[in-house]
């Protein structure tokens, strides 16, 4: 499968403006009035991940989970998205963007869109995700909703592209 650089149906990218005053700054990460705008569902959980310099997370995809990533820093990331949904009008589309402290973004990733991000910097980076599915289900007693592509030598999802 050859992927082409193009928009992906159902992926939403929004700026996360910083409001600055004498005390410091504030950025809104989540508001329920954004649900309709982004076409996503109510989050079931939120987590923060710290990624070491030079490390990638992904690529992987979810069967039912929508991710609502927020990249605000510290650190910057190369974010990669591939539309792997055969029924999608944008099947085969690919997005590469740089997000984080220097380009604060919220990114909604629907099920079936393969995604991963890499910290290409020399500092640790933080990412906050509001997922609409509980990791491993209620009380962590269900299978994890992930299809992992990281260890597949023949994967078309290349984080180094």
pLDDT tens by residue, 52-79 = 999 999 999 999 999 999 999 999 999 9
pTM to 2 decimals?
A: 0.93
C-alpha pair distances (Å), 117 with each of 2, 24, 37, 73, 75: 20, 28, 24, 14, 12
Flag whether 40 is in a domain. yes
Q: pLDDT grade, residue 41 (50/70/90)?
A: confident
Q: pLDDT grade, residue 39 (50/70/90)?
A: confident
List the structure tokens of 81. 């998205």
Instruction: Identify any residues that bridge with 101 across adjacent strands, giving them in sequence order.
Output: none
Q: Give the pLDDT mean for 86-90.
A: 97
Flag whether 158 is in a domain. no
- How do strand 93-100 and strand 56-61 relate by DSSP bridges? unpaired
**CB distance 110 to 145 below 8 Å:** no
Rounded mean pLDDT of the chain?
94
**Could you tell me the residue range of the domain that residue 140 belongs to?**
4-148
Q: What is the pLDDT of residue 50?
A: 97
Flag whether 37 is in a domain. yes
Any idea what the CATH number is for the domain that residue 50 is in? 2.60.120.10
Flag whether 154 is in a domain. no
Q: How many domains does the chain have?
A: 1
């Amino acid at each position: 499968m050859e992927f082409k650089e193009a928009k992906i149906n159902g992926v939403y990218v929004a700026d996360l403006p910083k409001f600055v005053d004498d005390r410091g700054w504030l950025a809104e990460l989540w508001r329920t009035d954004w649900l309709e705008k982004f076409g996503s569902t109510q989050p079931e959980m939120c987590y923060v991940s710290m990624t070491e310099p030079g490390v990638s997370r992904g690529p992987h995809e979810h069967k039912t989970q929508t991710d609502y990533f927020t990249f605000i820093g510290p650190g910057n990331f190369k974010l990669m998205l591939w539309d792997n949904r055969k029924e999608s009008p944008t099947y085969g589309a690919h997005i590469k963007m740089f997000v984080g402290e220097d380009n604060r973004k919220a990114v909604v990733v629907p099920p079936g869109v393969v995604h991963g991000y890499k910290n290409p910097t020399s500092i640790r980076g933080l990412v906050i995700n509001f997922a609409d599915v509980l990791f491993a289900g209620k009380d962590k007693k269900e299978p994890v909703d992930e299809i992992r592509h990281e260890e597949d030598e023949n994967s078309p999802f290349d984080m180094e592209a």
